Structure 1
Amino acid sequence: MARFQADRTRFYDGGSLDGSAPPQPGVEPMIVLERVLHPRTGFRLPGERPRMKETFRLERRIAYDARRREGGDLRVVVPASFPTDPPTEEFRSDLTSVPMLFSWLVPRTGSHLPAALLHDGMVHNDDEPASYDAAEPISREDADRIFRDAMGDLGTSFVRRWLMWSAVTLATVMAGVTRTPRPGQTASPRASGNVLWDWYFRVVAVATLLTIAVLGVLATLDFLDSWNVLFWMGEHGALREFLLGAAMAIVVPAVLSLLWLRLWKAGFIAGIALALLFHVTVALALLTFVFHLIEYVAHLRRD
């Protein structure tokens, strides 16, 4: 496999939203965003005020010369400049879609922002169209690969871009690996892909993450001498048990990743990330819960 060569000039100005001004290779892309607020849907505690969701509208398009798997380049321009059929809302992005618990690891904005906006245009929810101009349809799997390459071209660090790629690949697995969203069209995995393959990858992904999470809990209990159930931990000193646990946090994801077939790299990275960040994630989740609980009680008392 050829070594990846970063090339920032692959990103350039994509022209006006209506397409009257064409893409301009060699001209730096202009990231001009309009902030839009609208009520957030979902569960709310009694008496809790409506929360607002923040999205952004692009004021100018972004162009990127993506690398094809088979060689050559494919120009991708986001958002699409043509009207959709049936009509849909204009393209909006929430920047880098990352849960609040992991914003310390992957910020919503930064050097990778143009790549995140590009990915948002190529991949949408089932009830929304993909919003990009390209000479050919782009599958979700290829959109994730293009996202990883684009981050590399923008100077995102090696570890962070592969970690972010594995995260979006997990989302692709849950949506349907074989789905190919086309510009200006809505398509669900059931209608545009192989349902059996999609469910195979979903089951493997969920089983992998659950297995690693359960083993993480058991390893913690074993380390604390609360329950001796994992044979590789044994009855040893704290340092040796810690090193054995860390080693298996790599070995177990490596073995389980074989079930991911062509997506084994994503399974391996996601598994290791979960195993090594398990305790940090649990601690942050508890702190976040306590913070929101205090904030909610304070809100009720003030009102």
Structure 2
Amino acid sequence: MLTPTGEIVADARRRGVGVGAFNVITVEHAEAIVTGAEAAGCAVVLQISENAVRFHHGRLGPIAAAARSVAQLAGVPVGLHLDHVESDELFDQAAGNGFGSAMYDASRLGFADNVAATAAAAARGHACGLWVESELGEVGGKDGAHAPGVRTDPGEAAAYVAATGVDALAVAVGSSHAMTERVARLDQVLIRDLRDAVAVPLVLHGSSGVPDDELRAAVRNGVVKINIGTALNVAFTEAIRATVSADAALVDPRKYLRVARRDMAEAVTRALRVVALEQPGGGVTGLTYGTTPEKIPAPTDSAA
């Protein structure tokens, strides 16, 4: 069922668990994410990034309509989120296309300009009923725009949230977009300090490169929304590669997309069980990528 992202995040925060937010590029992504969430019995967020919109010829409407339809038919609560939006024009299309939330990304700007741009976007978003996320303390790896090693300062974060009025804050605590290995070590002390400094939920971007134990600790220490993209694309691509390689005569895309969608759904289920703090063992748990759980190939586009 289509559910406002803010409600999903607030419920998870009350219960002390995390919410998985997964990047949607194709309709198969949306279907796989919801199938995986239903198998886990967890609410989930479908995210469409500005990069994904650019892939769809700059048209938000078609992919948003597909994701929204999948969400409406789901057996678990599903939020629809427009992610990493730098374009004011695109941000202002969110509510009209059924999104309950959007992340306005002005992190390329200096602090004062980021505050001004984000405050204006948050005001417009709130007027349309959007739950608004933003970013302070650049998260590494996003097309080279964010410097690795940057960390969010708790005092600056408190001032930023107060000045902008955002509903959630993406923070830099050691993760990075599009990581090729699951070796990120998060600053758990900083996460706790940020949780104590700001009143809004914390968001972790670049979670595909974070090991399960670090993700669980981050949730326990105050992260609520966990963004994952690369892990799904790896599962999807490896399934297609294996299926096509096994049958040189195969031309029906349904035959390999069905397998890819299934494997992606399983990756979603595993990830949701981690951020929901389910105990390992007795089921499918933990993020895995193909046959080498701690190593993934370099992606061809930016993703969480």
Name the structure, 1 or 2, with higher relative contact order (CA <8 Å, separation 6+): 2
**TM-score between the two structures when normalised by the length of structure 1:** 0.29
Q: Is the radius of gyration larger for structure 1 or structure 2?
A: 1
TM-score by length of 2: 0.29
More strand by share: 2
